Amino acid sequence: MIENKAVLGAIVGLSLLGSVMLGVRLEAATTTRRSPTQHSSEEANKKLAAEFFRPGITPQERLALIHPDYVQHDPIFKRFNELNHLEGKPGFEAMIKVLRAAAGGAPPVPPAGNDPTYNIVADGDIVTVIQKRYLPDPANPGAMYESFYFETWRIKDGKLYEHWDPATLPQPLPDYLKYPQPNT
């Protein structure tokens, strides 16, 4: 046991200083400088991801943003694709048709002036769109609470190539996630 408070203080101080210096070194090692070309590429990638969520975008315009070899990680789309023996861009297109049919044929229209995009962040070919959403507050009927959702994309050849989000399978499963769909 160390009984000298000055020695103990010096040990603690040096430990803290070492931790701070290590943190500075790690931050410096992980901070990358962007070349002008990479910066402009990241800006183009951010614009591409933002376009996917543009209010008023048509299904065909949205489909045109998708890479031919599209990879989907959303479990809802994956389940649909497995049931219907689809993948990639054709699976995305078929799922969108089923979702529109389930919603009565028309895509949902956000309230005027309501762009849910909160922030868009890019790191090379990876872009994350953070969206602000309002959900019903279970503790206060009629009230809403603020929530955030994300969509992450890998961009390839100027198209949305790969996709991740925090989606989960709905409970109970809708029929389109239980049974193959005709005409898919």
- Quickly tell me which residue has 């969108």 as its tokens: 96
Helix and strand numbers, DSSP H then E, in the chain: 5, 5
CATH 3.10.450.50 fits 36-177, yes or no: yes
User: What pLDDT sits at residue 140?
Assistant: 95
User: In the predicted model, what is the mean pLDDT of the chain?
Assistant: 81
Residues of the chain predicted below pLDDT 70:
1-34, 36-38, 105-115
Tokens of 137: 């507050």
The residue extents of the domains of the chain are 1-31, 36-177
Tokens of 73: 């990680």
Whether this model's pTM surpasses 0.85: no
